[in-house]
Chain A
Amino acid sequence: MANGESEVGADAPAGGFVQLLTPDGERVDSVTTDGGVTYSVDFTDDEYRELYRDLVTVRRLDAEATALQRQGELGIWASLLGQEAAQVGSGRALRPQDMAFPTYREHGVLYTRGIDPIMPFGLFRGVDQGGWDPNEFKFNTYTIVIGAQTLHATGYAMGVTMDGKTGNPDGEAVIAYFGDGATSQGDVNEAFVWSGVFNAPIVFFCQNNQYAISEPLERQTRIPLYRRADGYGFPGVRIDGNDVLASYAVTRAALDHARNGEGPTLIEAYTYRMGAHTSSDDPTRYRIASEVESWKAKDPISRLRTFLAKQQLADDTFFAEVDETARTVALDLRERVLAMPDPQPVTMFDNVYPEGSPELDAQRAAFARYQASFEGSAH
């Protein structure tokens, strides 16, 4: 693909990517790909400011969660640090009727869906199974199994077509999130085949953060990931994953493509995981510091801040207010996480069968009696 101006995309990998906001905070009017598709955004001043607020808040919540894990209050945490733009941009591009299938790192997408950020913390704190009603939030449960959700999303998208909810500008679309490592999974390749063949209304949103835990990208692919789509017969686009505008514009277009009944799209958001894979991982064992430093210069938040300041869309008062509000939200999250009740042992019998079963009921009763035999037991 080609970019309009030569100095733009100077930080792009070979083959280029769609970038609408450079690391220096320069706005690019529009980008036309080799496929002839033109991408742009047309935000109001307020919308630019709210995108900035999203990015800062999402990062602040993530930092709080990382701290809570280090303080023994979460069993594990998968940080999104560095991937805020990919998640906020694509998340804000979703319309209310669209369905999202996350991995376990899509805290930013969850936030942009308007969901209370505490929702996944029961899982990470180990006080529930991480279950919620996907239909209520139009946001599937976090999926730990690598790439499995792409098949679920494909099946869901095929169902959307069967329900006759595609083929018009207000149709439904589905987005499936996954990482670069997942592209090596059979599940993801099967999902590509099925959605391609059945023209499913789905957007495959791959956050290529360069590492599958410790395995670098060159152990996943010999060609840029977005070009994999060619082999499955649908378009593939690479975007600057640290550019919230490109993430929004390309996801929006791909979702519309899908909801109009024109089939799937693969988006490769070229980004970088600034932190560890999860709190159980030590990235210094497989990454060099200079690489991390080079990505710091491409930070998704600082480029938008530079843009806002240069364009005089926001001043220091605004930035300070955003930081303070984010801090308040994070501290509120902390208090509520710490107050999460421990599950009662007897709840392990819940959610096994929707209607229960005689044998299970007997086991539950016996277990409740056993529990009641403890001194000071409340039940």
Chain B
Amino acid sequence: MSRIKEFNLPDLGEGLTEGEILSWLVKVGDTIELNQPIVEVETAKAAVEIPAKWAGVVTRIFAEAGTTVEVGAPIVAIDTDPSAGALPEPSADSLAAVEVAPAEGAVEPGMIGGPAPGGRTAVLVGYGPKTTSAKRRPRMGTPAGSPTATTPAPSPTAPVSAPPAASAPPTAPVSAPPAVSAPPTASVSAPPAVSAPPTAGRALAKPPVRKLARDLGVDLGTLTGTGPLGSVTRDDVQRAAARTEAVVVAPPTAAPAAFDAAREQRIPVKGVRKLTAENMVASAFSAPHVTEFLTVDVTRTMKALERLKGRPEFRDLRISPLLLVAKAVLLAIKRHPMINSTWLGATNEIVVKDYVNLGIAAATERGLIVPNVKDAGRLTLRELAEALNALVQTAKSGRTPPSDMAAGTFSITNVGVFGVDTGTPILPPGESAILAFGAIRPTPWVHKDKIKVRQVTTLALSFDHRIVDGELGSKFLRDVGAFLADPEGALLAWT
């Protein structure tokens, strides 16, 4: 057995597919003991330290801190017998071979029991690398075990896919005659964005994806897979097919070199960003949004806030205009309960809630999160202020538990803190309305028939038009505005 052993990222928590390297506790050259903590990894479930599986010397770190690694990919190599002296040459070769998946072997790369990057043997996630003898069903019509069996025969299109340079000018293939008469495989190799890596073996793809590629006339060998172990996914094939179509239909006759990869930064989409994106897409394309705007004179709200700060009950508390906006929303919901509801398409029901879990959008280092104050309608103003402060504190420290983000019923996004006037917020999934609260600015305003400098802000209310009609949305927004224009008056009149 080789003295250099590679440690692959295991499934740290029942069905995880990837983890982010937070920090290395060792470096190349360090001597380590069995079970010594060597690296901290964060998964979707927890941040954990991984203990060394073998004693020895760290010879290589494959994934630096900050990178996201798929379960099963090597993260560190350990020389388990450093006392035996310098490494023999073959080991160095085998390390170099890590970069490129070996194409030989009776089993296709990436298949269970087959070779995977790093000379490993691919197995089910989480259950350790095994060097079992490869086995697979005999393929009909191919000599079993032949090492060439998995190497594709050179196809007529091979020369096209051969140049590894990704920056091949797009004009060359495009200038070919309209590809109607061309064989479909020829046009596929045209798109410039397809950077064909120098694959020694056959492209990785699941059988249904292979069929899809065949049906759409896409040559898998020309695609860069985005799936696990670089496999080609259904989306990859469809994107390639779409590109092909676009190229055929509308050839960009004089495409300027408007793209310079060296000046682009690629940020992996993960964690909160990924979740935010999914929620936004889910909401934007399922709930028809309408947004209304109202500009309000909030001078009295600001004065009320000053008076509140002077009161003994609030002396030790930080309060901001957001508190009174929240109060305005809670009172307005009481007057218009339908705004606080959920559309249940599955059962054809609208669920109107008698409780308000008031969400506050918070910008954190990890991205946007919307924790909510549970049953906010029952809180006194002081309790509400404390709850909002606690919510923001927890969010800023990155410790918001999932329960705080679940079951929101109405949300406020305080874009004003960023100095902008307003926006058209997107509904958090499951909620029927969201209020954006813009910057408060001294503004010339008609006050008691005279132009005065007043504190003015703009409110924007987005609502789910399946539930909330323009009339209800307008009345609700008007009430929020009325409260902010005269909070004490509204309190006396409404409660």
Indicate if B35 sits at the interface (CB-CB under 8 A). Answer: yes
B51, A72: Cβ atoms closer than 8 Å = no
Q: What 0/1 readout, one digit per residue, does chain B (437-448) give for beta carbons within 8 Å of chain A? A: 000000000000
Is A276 interfacial (CB-CB < 8 Å)?
yes
B135 to A70, Cβ gap below 8 A? Answer: no
Interface status of B10 (Cβ within 8 A of chain A):
yes
Q: Does chain A have a CB within 8 A of B479?
A: no
Tell me whether B135 and A279 are in contact (CB under 8 A): no
Chain B residues, Cβ within 8 Å of A75: 11, 14, 126-127
For the residues of A in contact with B, the DSSP-based class is: loop
What are 19 pairs between A and B in contact, CB < 8 Å?
A: A69-B12, A70-B10, A70-B50, A71-B10, A71-B50, A71-B128, A72-B9, A72-B126, A72-B128, A73-B10, A73-B53, A75-B14, A280-B12, A280-B13, A282-B45, A284-B47, A285-B46, A373-B137, A375-B134
CA distance A338 to B129 in the complex (A): 11
Distance of A76 Cα from B126 Cα, bound (Å): 10
| Chain A: minimal CB distance from B43 (Å) | 9
Residues in B neighbouring A126, C-beta threshold 8 A: 127
Write out the residue numbers on chain A whose beta carbons fall within 8 Å of the beta carbon of B128.
Answer: 71-73, 338
Which parts of A90-141 form the interface with B (CB within 8 Å)? 125-126
Size bin of chain B's contact surface = 20 to 34
Residues of B within 8 A of A214 (CB): 401
List the 10 shortest-distance A-B pairs measured between CB atoms, nearest first: A72-B10, A282-B46, A280-B13, A376-B135, A71-B53, A67-B51, A67-B35, A374-B135, A70-B50, A280-B14
Identify which of residues 106-133 in chain B touch chain A, using a CB-to-CB cut-off of 8 Å: 106, 126-128, 130, 133
Q: Does B399 belong to the interface (CB within 8 Å)?
A: yes
CB-defined interface of A355-379 with B at 8 Å, one 1/0 digit per residue?
0000000000000000001111100
B410 at the interface (CB under 8 A from A): no
Whether A375 contacts B144 in the complex (CB less than 8 A), given A72-B126, A73-B128, A282-B47, comes out as yes
Interface: B7 (CB within 8 A): yes
- Which residues from B are CB-within-8-Å of A276? 46
Q: Which of chain B's residues 133-154 have a Cβ closer than 8 Å to chain A?
A: 133-138, 144-145
Given the interface pairs A285-B399, A373-B138, A374-B136, the reply to whether A71 lies near B7 with Cβ below 8 Å is yes
B104 contacts partner chain A, Cβ-Cβ < 8 Å: no
CB distance from A15 to the nearest CB of B (A): 29
CB distance from B51 to the nearest CB of A (A): 4
Let me know if B245 is at the binding interface, CB within 8 A. Answer: no
- Within the complex, what minimum Cβ distance (angstroms) separates A13 from chain B? 25
Contact of A71 among B45, B47, B51, B133 (CB under 8 A): B51
A72 to B106, CA, bound (A): 26
Does B8 sit within 8 A of A, measured CB to CB?
yes
- Tell whether, in the assembled complex, residue B135 and residue A375 are in contact, meaning their CB atoms are under 8 Å apart: yes
Residue of A nearest to B129 (CB): A72
A351 CA / B127 CA spacing, docked (Å): 24
Q: Are A376 and B126 in contact (CB under 8 A)?
A: no
Q: Which residue of A lies closest to B106 (CB)?
A: A375
A376/B134 in contact, CB under 8 A? yes
Q: Is B294 an interface residue (CB 8 A)?
A: no
Q: How far is the CA of A251 from the CA of B50 in the complex (A)?
A: 37
The reply to whether B401 and A285 form a contact with Cβ atoms under 8 Å apart is yes
Which residue of B49, B130, B135 contacts A377 across the interface (Cβ within 8 Å)?
B135
A349: interface (CB < 8 Å): no
Which residue in chain B gives the minimum CB-CB distance to A214?
Answer: B401
Say whether A281 faces chain B, with CB atoms less than 8 Å apart. Answer: yes
Number of A-B contacts (CB under 8 A): 76
Which residues does chain A contribute within 8 Å of B130, judged by CB atoms? Answer: 342
| Extra A-B contacts (5), CB below 8 Å, given A72-B11, A76-B14 | A64-B35, A76-B13, A280-B14, A375-B135, A375-B144
- Closest chain A CB from B391 CB (angstroms): 16
CB distance from B5 to the nearest CB of A (A): 11
B317 within 8 A of A: no
CB–CB B137/A375 < 8 A:
yes
User: Hey, which chain A residues are within 8 Å of B53, CB to CB?
Assistant: 71, 73
User: Which residues of B lie under 8 Å from residue A282 when comparing CB positions?
Assistant: 45-48
A154 CA / B130 CA spacing, docked (Å)? 44
Complex formed: what's the CA distance from A242 to B436 in Å? 53
Contact with A along B38-80 (1 / 0, CB 8 A): 0000000111111101000000000000000000000000000
Determine whether A318 belongs to the interface, using a CB cutoff of 8 Å to chain B.
no
Query: How many angstroms between the C-alpha atoms of A64 and B51 in the bound complex?
Result: 10
Q: Do B138 and A281 touch across chains, with their CB atoms under 8 A apart?
A: no
A279–B10 Cα distance when bound, in Å, is 12
Closest to B49 in A: A70
Residues of A within 8 A of B133 (CB): 376
- Alpha-carbon gap, A280 to B14, bound state (A): 7
Within 8 A of B (CB), among A269-287: 276, 279-282, 284-286
Minimal beta-carbon separation of B462 from chain A (angstroms): 31
Interface contact B12-A279, CB-CB below 8 Å: yes
- State how many angstroms separate the Cβ of B75 from the closest Cβ of chain A: 11
Chain A residues near B399: list those with CB within 8 A.
285
Which residues of the other chain, B, contact A71 by a CB distance below 8 angstroms? Answer: 7, 10, 50-51, 53, 128
Scan A183-225; emit 1 where CB is below 8 A from any B CB, else 0: 0000000000000000000000000000000100000000000
Q: Which of A321-347 contact B (CB under 8 A)?
A: 338, 342
Q: How far is the CA of A323 from the CA of B127 in the complex (A)?
A: 29
**Are A375 and B145 touching (Cβ within 8 A)?**
yes
Query: Which chain B residues border A338 with CB–CB below 8 Å?
Result: 128
How close is A50's CB to chain B, nearest CB, in angstroms?
26
User: In the bound complex, what is the Cα–Cα distance between A284 and B46 (angstroms)?
Assistant: 9
The residue of chain B having its C-beta at the shortest distance from the C-beta of A377 within the complex is: B135
Interface centre among A63, A72, A76, A282 (most CB of B within 10 A): A72
Are B8 and A72 in contact, with the CB atoms below 8 A? Answer: yes
Pick from A70, A280, A286, A374: contact of B137, CB under 8 Å? A374
In the docked arrangement, what's the CA distance between A67 and B33, Å?
A: 13
Q: How far is the CA of A279 from the CA of B47 in the complex (A)?
A: 11
1/0 per residue, CB under 8 A from B, across A41-77: the answer is: 0000000000000000000000110010111110110
Residues of A within 8 A of B47 (CB): 282, 284
Closest beta carbon of chain A to B46's beta carbon, Å: 3
Which residues of B are found within 8 Å of A377, using beta-carbon distances? Answer: 135
Residues from chain B with a CB closer than 8 A to the CB of A376 are: 133-135
Shortest A31–chain B CB gap in Å is: 39
Docked complex: A283-321 residues within 8 A CB-CB of B:
284-286
Question: Which A residues are in CB contact (< 8 Å) with B13?
Answer: 76, 279-280
Q: How far is the CA of A225 from the CA of B145 in the complex (A)?
A: 65
Bound-state Cα–Cα, A371 to B441, Å: 75
Q: Decide if B46 touches A281 in the complex (CB within 8 Å).
A: yes
Complex interface: chain B residues within 8 A of A374 (CB): 135-137
Q: Does A375 lie within 8 Å of B136, measured CB to CB?
A: yes
| A74 to B333 alpha-carbon distance, docked (Å) | 51
How distant is B44 from chain A, measured CB to nearest CB, in Å?
A: 10
Return A46 CB to nearest CB of chain B, in Å: 31
The one of B7, B11, B50, B401 that contacts A286, using a Cβ cutoff of 8 Å: B401
Closest-by-CB residue of B relative to A66 is B51
